[in-house]
Amino acid sequence: MSTASPNLQAYRASLLHFRADPAFDDQAALWHEDGLLVVEDGRIKAAGDYAALAPTLPPGLEQVDYRGKVIAPGFIDTHLHYPQTDMIASPSPGLLPWLETYTFPSERRFEDPAHARATAEFFLDELLRCGTTTAVVYCTVHPQSVDAFFEASEARKLRMVAGKVLMDRNCPDFLRDLEGDLGQSEDLINKWHKRGRSLYAITPRFAPTSTDVQLRLTGELAARHPDTFIQTHVSENKDECTWVNELFPQARSYLDVYERFGLMRPRALFGHCIWLDDEDFARMAATGSAAAVCPTSNLFLGSGLFDFERADSARALLSLGTDVGAGTSFSMLQTMNEAYKVARLKGSYLPALRMFYLATLGAARSMRLEDTIGSFQPGLEADFVVLDREATPLLARRTGHCDSLEELLFALALLGDDRTIAATYSGGRKVHQR
């Protein structure tokens, strides 16, 4: 008879995770070519070489054999919009017309809880198919859109971050908050933040759609709930930057608008950050705020190219976001692919190791969740992805002759997508199988 605990599982595969940022530490990556990942009660028990760990397993424990595949921490997508799922790939010449033509009408439908719940279910299926186990998600201005999202993610026991969009000007009446009232956001924090694996993000959409009063109250709300997240957009598009300069002439920069209202702090995630200057990046680093870099969206809308070198000179916290529905893919592998090209066009270079770091531990650090998710340190939640290097004929052909780990990861990032995800696990449970 087996003596193994029913809550103990072991997975044999190549293992990849990180203990530091490979841009600044050449011992950052942890790689076990023939590795074993041991999971107990939904948490990481051990990760290491098969030869060292296999003898520690209780006799009779059946191992899951993923030999030939790569297990990595589940991807973390730090910026996307679930209500924009149905309008992904909608053509428009730039951000502001895209918001007017497609985004606001699509978001209006989320006053209907049934539509919100059905969309949330599809959205979560899609994330898991792409190997994303944690996402930082915009809902709409409707509180019921937040309830629908968290009800769906809680039912699947996923580690998700989300919040109600705040907007009280420069938007259609049907999406406008009452000025001076953040009661709905505070109620949602009290209801959802840290309930199970749900975490709340205070979500002013972007500076142009909030009055000074709303931004001030948002900063006060964030100060009352210092372990919530804050998410917003900044310096995405040149027309938008000009508009913000007109609306907030007293601010030094677009980012400075947020700092003046107390919205730069640890757990604040700023989408895009394309047109930030050196002082802005220094403020990002000094305040512990993090950039969510969204390359597929930036290329799609023609917003601009993120400057990785400038951000790295300031040592700003970085992560990657798909920004669906301006982003054109739910896949973090495809997001890496485009991030690589953005870096090249800016004259810099983004190694694959760095991209996998940004999509895992880098994101967890940006979110101050590195003691919960993002690597295979013992005790962390067992959220992981099984990557199939032979998912397509072309991937199999290319990865059949890799001379280094960097080459293998590069091929997975450049050629991979949802087909590359053989399985996704959350809290030690299989939540997707291709």
Contacts with ligand GUN by CB under 6 A lie at 81, 95, 99, 103, 205-206, 233, 236, 297, 323, 326
Shortest distance, position 361 Cβ to ligand GUN, whole Å? 25
Q: Does residue 240 touch Zn ion according to CB under 5 A? A: no
Give the whole-angstrom CA distance, residue 395 versus residue 68: 13
Give the chain's radius of gyration (CA, Å): 21
- Residue 253 vs 424, nearer CB to ligand GUN: 253
- Residue 24 vs 174, nearer CB to ligand GUN: 174
Give the whole-angstrom CA distance, residue 400 versus residue 68: 11
- Picked from ligand GUN, Zn ion, none, the partner binding residue 395 (CB below 5 to 8 A depending on kind) is none
What type of residue sits at position 288? G
The token duo for 269 is: 């995630």
Binding part of the chain for Zn ion, among 23-31, 109-117, 212-220, 268-276 by CB under 5 A, reads 268-276
- Residue 32 vs 79, nearer CB to ligand GUN: 79
- Residue 88 vs 431, nearer CB to ligand GUN: 88
**Footprint of Zn ion on 345-404 (CB under 5 A):** none
- Residue 332 vs 414, nearer CB to Zn ion: 332
- Residue 103 vs 218, nearer CB to ligand GUN: 103
Q: Does residue 259 touch Zn ion according to CB under 5 A? A: no
Q: Which residue is nearest to ligand GUN (CB)?
A: 326
Query: Of the candidates 147, 240, 280, 323, which one interacts with Zn ion according to CB under 5 A?
Result: 323
Binding part of the chain for Zn ion, among 27-35, 107-115, 125-133, 320-328 by CB under 5 A, reads 320-328
Shortest distance, position 301 Cβ to ligand GUN, whole Å? 6
Residues in the interface with Zn ion (CB under 5 A) total 2
Shortest distance, position 244 Cβ to Zn ion, whole Å? 16
Shortest distance, position 24 Cβ to ligand GUN, whole Å? 29
Shortest distance, position 26 Cβ to ligand GUN, whole Å? 35
- Picked from ligand GUN, Zn ion, none, the partner binding residue 366 (CB below 5 to 8 A depending on kind) is none
- Picked from Zn ion, ligand GUN, none, the partner binding residue 103 (CB below 5 to 8 A depending on kind) is ligand GUN
- Residue 21 vs 236, nearer CB to ligand GUN: 236
User: Applying CB under 5 A, which residues contact Zn ion?
Assistant: 271, 323
